[in-house]
């Protein structure tokens, strides 16, 4: 077994941002400043950190960040009104509603209220449907990041068996669709899946999107598998047991510094794409 390649998310993220810089300049010369509106509802510290990171990443690149922070007791109707206003605001090109929102809010209804042309985080069912059918313009950012990492490192999906662990609307399901559209044979696993280690053993490409620290063990893997770990658990721990998986894999994303930074870059890219579409 040769050396395991580390799929460095920081390198991929920088490459995406470099490509965006001249596009942002060109937009500004025409009088358009790309703008991402972020909505944070409540005081969840992790959500607050994620929103801040996204806003700061925008500003570092010259994308305007319009940060909206709503009270913990915001109602669905109040949130819908804010989204409606952002939909109408021609200076705003992308809208990100940070998940999760407080319990009293109907999150799905709020996501669905985001105009399709501003759904840069790929959360609407319309956007998901387009992605699944193969013509989505803004797939969810973490699935887009996984495909971007594979493209950057020349990892072909075609003809490979990709196993995705997780089927959430923002991660497992859309990444399964993107891999299928890239001509992989896809198996999507979830909490009812039986004999998970046996299925993982068939994977040429493994995507971990389960939300359980170090859940996937190296001994489950086929020798030479490519491992993409989307997991981000408290303490900066991924969904795969890194050391044991590193030994078996031909390539692996670290946590932190793997899928996470590329996810943010994809959000920036989608915002610039949206600004260019006008
Ligand atoms: P989620 O909504 O909690 O979904 C987890 C999925 O894992 C569900 O589909 C669940 O199955 C499945 N699952 C749970 N236990 C399982 C088991 N024992 N065997 C097989 N499947 C099992 O989580 P998520 O939002 O997709 O996030 C997944 C991970 O990615 C988390 O660590 C999260 O922090 C991370 N994440 C990272 C980024 C990033 O930018 N890097 C972005 C988003 C999320 P059921 O459907 O049957 O319940």
How close is the Cα of 167 to the center of ligand 1, in Å?
Answer: 7
Residue 212 binned pLDDT confidence (cut-offs 50, 70, 90): very high
Q: What does the DSSP assignment read for 162-189?
A: EEEE---TTTHHHHHHHHHHTT-EEEEE
Task: Tell whether the model's pLDDT for residue 101 goes beyond 70.
Answer: yes
Side-chain half-sphere CA neighbours of 137 within 13 A: 15
How many CB atoms neighbour CB 234 within 10 A? Answer: 7
CA distance 151 to 153: 5
Domains of the chain by residue range: 32-118, 140-259
The residues annotated as belonging to the active site are: 54, 98, 121
Pull the structure tokens for residue 165.
């662990």
- The pLDDT assigned to 1 comes to 58
**Binding residue per annotation — 167?**
yes
**Average pLDDT estimate for 224-230:** 98
Which residue lies with its CA nearest to atom 30 of ligand 1? 231
Which residue lies with its CA nearest to atom 25 of ligand 1? 168
pLDDT tens digits, 198-207: 999 999 999 9
Task: Tell whether the model's pLDDT for residue 2 goes beyond 90.
Answer: no
How close is the Cα of 210 to the center of ligand 1, in Å?
Answer: 3
CA distance 40 to 56: 14
Q: What is the DSSP letter of 233?
A: B
Q: Which CATH architecture has domain 32-118?
A: 3-Layer(aba) Sandwich (3.40)
**What atom of ligand 1 comes closest to residue 259's alpha carbon?**
41
To test the ligand 1 pocket, which listed residue (166, 188, 227, 233) has its Cβ within 8 A of the most ligand atoms? 166
| Ligand 1 binding pocket, CB closer than 6 Å | 142, 165-168, 170-172, 189-193, 196, 209-211, 230-233, 239, 259-260, 263
- For the chain, percent helix, then strand, then coil, each to nearest 5? 45, 15, 40
- The pLDDT assigned to 122 comes to 97
Pull the structure tokens for residue 93.
């090109």
- The pLDDT assigned to 48 comes to 96
pLDDT tens digits, 148-196: 999 999 999 999 999 999 999 999 999 999 999 999 999 999 999 999 9
Task: Tell whether the model's pLDDT for residue 80 goes beyond 70.
Answer: yes
- The pLDDT assigned to 185 comes to 99
pLDDT tens digits, 13-33: 999 999 999 999 999 999 999
**Average pLDDT estimate for 103-130:** 98
How close is the Cα of 136 to the center of ligand 1, in Å?
Answer: 22
Whether 140-259 and 32-118 are alike in CATH topology: the answer is yes
CA distance 233 to 185: 28
* 140-259: CATH number: 3.40.50.720
CA distance 203 to 184: 11
- What is the percent of the chain with per-residue pLDDT over 90, rounded to a whole number? 99
To test the ligand 1 pocket, which listed residue (16, 46, 191) has its Cβ within 8 A of the most ligand atoms? 191
How close is the Cα of 23 to the center of ligand 1, in Å?
Answer: 34
- The pLDDT assigned to 4 comes to 98
CA distance 171 to 210: 9
pLDDT tens digits, 39-67: 999 999 999 999 999 999 999 999 999 99
How many CB atoms neighbour CB 220 within 10 A? Answer: 21
Which residue lies with its CA nearest to atom 41 of ligand 1? 260
């Amino acid at each position: 077994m040769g050396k395991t390649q580390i799929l460095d998310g920081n390198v991929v993220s920088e490459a995406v941002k470099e490509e965006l810089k001249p596009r942002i300049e060109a937009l500004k010369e025409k009088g358009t400043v790309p703008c991402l509106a972020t909505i944070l509802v409540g005081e969840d510290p992790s959500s607050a950190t994620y929103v801040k990171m996204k806003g700061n990443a925008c500003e570092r690149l010259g994308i305007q960040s319009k940060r909206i922070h709503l009270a913990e007791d915001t109602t669905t109707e109040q949130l819908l009104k804010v989204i409606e206003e952002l939909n109408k605001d021609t200076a705003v090109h992308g809208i990100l509603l940070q998940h999760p929102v407080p319990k009293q809010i109907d999150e799905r209804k709020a996501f669905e209220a985001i105009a399709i042309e501003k759904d840069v985080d790929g959360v609407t069912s319309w956007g998901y449907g387009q992605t699944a059918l193969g013509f989505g313009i803004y797939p969810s950012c973490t699935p887009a990041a996984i495909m971007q990492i594979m493209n950057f490192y020349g990892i072909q999906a075609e003809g490979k068996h990709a196993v995705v662990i997780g089927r959430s609307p923002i991660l497992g399901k859309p990444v399964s669709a993107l891999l299928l559209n890239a001509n992989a044979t896809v198996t999507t696993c979830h909490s009812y899946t039986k004999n998970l280690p046996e299925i993982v053993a068939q994977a040429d490409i493994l995507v971990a999107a389960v939300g359980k620290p170090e859940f996937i063990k190296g001994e489950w893997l086929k020798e030479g598998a490519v491992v993409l770990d989307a997991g981000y658990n408290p303490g900066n721990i991924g969904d795969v047991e890194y050391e044991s998986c590193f030994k078996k894999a031909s390539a692996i994303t670290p946590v932190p510094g793997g899928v996470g930074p590329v996810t943010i870059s994809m959000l920036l890219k989608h915002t610039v794409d949206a600004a260019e579409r006008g």
